[in-house]
Structure 1
C-alpha cells in the first residue's frame, strides 16, 4: 500500500521508540518523513536507519516545549516540502514513577506536563494553519490508557495523558468541518526504552492489568497510527483509539 504517497508527515519524538516505529510505518507506505526530536545524535542514527530502508527522511533537532524553535521547525518543513499532511505527536516522558502523590516532586510533575502536553499543543498549533490552507490534515496524538484509568504511582504521566485526550477532543470538534481530523491513540504498556527505564514493579503492575498478559509491540501501535493518519480515516475525529490487549473495552 502507498496510502501516504506524496504526503509529508512530521513525527515528534521520532528518534526512537513508538515515534520511530510510526515514522518507519508511514515511510514504508510512501510518506516523506520528518523527525522532530531533542536528541540530535539519536536523530542522526534514526535517519540512517530509515534511509537504509529507502524511506525519504528529514530530521530537525527541536525542543517541543519551546514555542519559537517549534514554529521555526514547522516553517522549515513547509518551506522545504511545500506541505504538511500528517502530524504524529509521540514525544513524551514518563517522569519519576512508583511513588504516591504526596511523594511526587513538583519539578518532575511540571517537566512531564511541559513535554507531554505543552509540547503537543505547540506542535499542533504550529501545523494547523498549514493544514487549514490545504483543507486537509491528519493529527494523531499519542495518549495512554493511563489517561483514561490512571496508573497508581504515575501521577504526572497519567495526568498528562488525560490532558492529551481532552486536547484531542477539543481540537477534533473545532476542525471537524475543515478536512482535518484529530485523534489520539491510547496504548497500554508497550516495550520501549522508556518502559525499560521504569522500575520492574511498575511495569509488572501495568502488565498484570492487561488481559492478554503481555506488553504491546511498537509495530502494533504503528499499524493503528498509520490507519488513523491515512485518508481512509476521514469520518473519525476527536476520538481515542485503544490498543490495550483488552484492558479498555469502552
Structure 2
C-alpha cells in the first residue's frame, strides 16, 4: 500500500536512537523530507546521514524541547527550509526513575520527567499547529506509553507523564480537528533495546534474583502475543497515523504492546 507520504515534511523529535532512529528511517524510506530535532546534535547527524542516503532532505536543529522559545525557533527553521510542516512526530522523552515507589521518588525526579514528556510535546505542538492550520491540515503523532493507560508500580513519574500526554493529545485533537489536523498517540509497551535490557530487565533481575534472560522472558509472557515489541513496530504505527490511510482517526491511543494494555 502506498501511504502517499513522499515529499511530505516530517518534523521528528528525539530521532537519534532506538525507536526514534527507527521512526526517522521509516519516514525517510517513505520519501519524507525531514527536520530532526534534539539536544544531541552529533548523534542526530549520524541518523540524518543515513536518511539523506535514501534520497530525502534533512535538516538537523539543536533544540531543548522544554524551552518554548527554542521550539518556536525550531518550527521557524523548518518553515524557512521547506515552507511547510505536514507531520510532527514527538518521540523525545525519558523513562524517569525505575523501581522507586511514589514516596521514594524525589520531587526533582518527578518534575524532570513530567517536564520532558509533557511540556516538551506541548511546546512542539504549540509551535507547529499554527503552520498546519494555515496550510489546511497536518498530522501529529505523540509517542506515549502503555504505562499511561494502565499505570505501573515503581514508575510513578513516567506513568504520570504519559497519562498527562494522553490528555494533551485528546484536547489538541478536539481543538485541531476542524482544521483538518489529526492528533493521535502511539503507546508502546516494552520495546527491546538497551534501555529495556539494561534498566528494566536488570531491575527485575536484581529484585527477584533471576538472570537477565529470565527477566526478559517474564516480560514477554505478560503479552498476548508472547513477544516484546521492536523499534520497527512502533515506527510502522507512526507511519500509519501520519498517513491519509488513517484520515478518519484522531484522539486515539494506539497500543503497540503485543496485547497488554487493552486486554
TM-score relative to the length of structure 1:
0.95
- Note the aligned Cα RMSD (angstroms): 1.6
Say whether the 8 Å CA contact 1:189–1:215 is kept in structure 2: yes
1:218 to 227, 231, 243: 231
Give 5+ residue unaligned stretches, structure 2.
Answer: 205-214
| CA distance in 1 between partners of 2:219 and 2:62 (Å) | 32
Question: Would the aligned equivalents of 2:98 and 2:203 in 1 still touch at CA under 8 Å?
Answer: no
2:36 corresponds to 1:35 = yes
| 3-state SS of paired residue (2:160) | helix
Equivalent residue, structure 2, for 1:106: 107
SS of corresponding position for 2:163:
helix
Is the CA contact (8 Å cut-off) linking 1:147 and 1:161 kept in structure 2? Answer: yes
Instruction: State the alpha-carbon separation in 2 of the partners of residues 117 and 125 from structure 1.
Output: 12
Give distance in 2, aligned partners of 1:194 and 1:54: 31
Please say if 1:141 is aligned against 2:129. no
The whole-number CA distance in structure 2 between the counterparts of 1:160 and 1:244 is 18
Greater gyration radius: 2
Residue 153 and residue 206 in structure 1: after superposition, are their counterparts in 2 closer, same or farther (change >3 A)?
A: farther
State the TM-score, normalized to the length of structure 2. 0.90
Partner SS for 1:120: helix
Whole-angstrom CA distance in 2 between matches of 1:53 and 1:192: 24
Aligned pairs (5 A) from 1:172-183: 172-183=173-184
In the other structure, the counterpart of 1:239 is 252
CA–CA distance in structure 2, aligned partners of residues 103 and 161 of structure 1: 20
Q: In the alignment, which residue of structure 1 is the partner of 2:121?
A: 120
Deviation at 1:180, TM superposition (A): 0.3
Aligned equivalent of 1:53: 54
Displacement of 1:136: 0.8
- Secondary structure at the residue paired with 2:199? coil
Distance verdict in 2 for CA 1:195–1:72, change over 3 Å: same
Contact 1:2 1:30 survives alignment (8 Å): no
Post-superposition offset of 1:206: 4.9
Q: Tell me the alpha carbon deviations over residues 148-201 of structure 1, each in whole angstroms, 9 at most, x when there is no partner.
A: 111211111111000111111111111111110000011111123433441423
Alpha-carbon distance between aligned partners in 2 of 1:198 and 1:54, rounded to the nearest angstrom: 36
Could you tell me whether the CA contact under 8 Å between 1:24 and 1:55 is conserved in 2?
no
How many Å apart are 1:89 and its aligned residue?
0.3
- Contiguous gaps of at least 5 residues in structure 1: none
Structure 2 Cα separation of the partners of residues 34 and 192 of structure 1? 24
Q: How many residues align?
A: 250
